[in-house]
Each structure stands twice: as structure tokens, then as C-alpha cells.
Amino acid sequence: MKGKLLLTVITPTKEVLNTECDEVTLPGKEGYFGILPGHVPLLAALTVGELRYRIGKIIYFLAIDEGFCDVADDSVRVLVEEALKPEEIDIKEEQKKLELLRKEKDWRKVELDQRRAATRVSVATTGTYKVSE
């Protein structure tokens, strides 16, 4: 596995992903950050957002909820409340939720739910893409 990362994404109910990859980008509490092979050990809090991982020239996306990641020895373990692959997201349902949440007067009550729905719409719409050379 020289020059690769082992990415594992786990929720309370299942292991969502276990794959080798070249790079991982995560939504940290202080902003997005990237992990490459050889990264120093790290424990970080995660927020709602897109987890991106690259295998070769293809970038894959997951919509994740809050949680933590642990990076050590070229292994990235992500423990989150929920993680959804693009094909698991009902984009119409999430767009409806987003529209309803945007009408809420007290934005502080629904900010996290809005980010969650917006992230899921984005991930479902993007799916995967190939990095241009």
C-alpha cells in the first residue's frame, strides 16, 4: 500500500466505505482540510459536508454528518453519525427539505439542517468526476 491511504468510513449502524485511495478531503470544524500519504497523526472534529476521496484521476463524494476522523500510519478512519453515497440520496426529497428550511425565520434553529440538505443535493448532483490533466 506504499503511497496510498486506507480510508474507512463508519456510522453507528454500518461500515460505509473501506478503500485504498490517493487523497482525502474532509469538512473540519475550522474548514476543509486534505490528507495525503505520509500525513502526521491527527484527530479532528468533522462537521456536515462533503467527504471527497481521489483514486487515480477520479474523485468520489460522500455526504457526511458530524463526527471525527483519526489519521495515523496512512490510515484515515472517519466516524460519523451518517454517511451517504450519491446513489443513496433522494435528490428531490433533499431539495424539498432545503426549500422548507429556507423559509424558516430563525436561521439558527435550522442552519445545520440546511447545510445537511444542501450537501446532499450537491453530492447527489456531482456523483464522481474525473480530474483533468
φ and ψ at residue 54, rounded to 5 degrees: -115, 130
Angle made by CA atoms 22, 27, 32, in degrees to the nearest 5? 75
Per-residue model confidence (pLDDT) at position 132: 65
Are 51 and 76 within 8 A, CB to CB? no
Q: Domain-by-domain residue ranges, the chain?
A: 5-85, 87-127
Per-residue model confidence (pLDDT) at position 65: 95
Question: What's the CATH fold of domain 5-85?
Answer: ATP Synthase; domain 1 (2.60.15)
Per-residue model confidence (pLDDT) at position 22: 97
Q: Which is it for strands 5-10 and 75-80: parallel, antiparallel or unpaired? A: parallel
pLDDT average per 10 residues of sequence, the chain (133 residues): 90 97 96 96 96 96 96 97 94 89 76 86 81 65
pTM of the predicted protein model: 0.84
3-state secondary structure the chain: CCCCEEEEEECCCCEEEEEEECEEEEEECCEEEEECCCCCCEEEEECCEEEEEEECCEEEEEEECCEEEEEECCEEEEEECCEECHHHCCHHHHHHHHHHHHCCCCHHHHHHHHHHHHHHHHHHHHCEEECCC
Query: Cα–Cα distance between 40 and 79 in angstroms, integer?
Result: 19
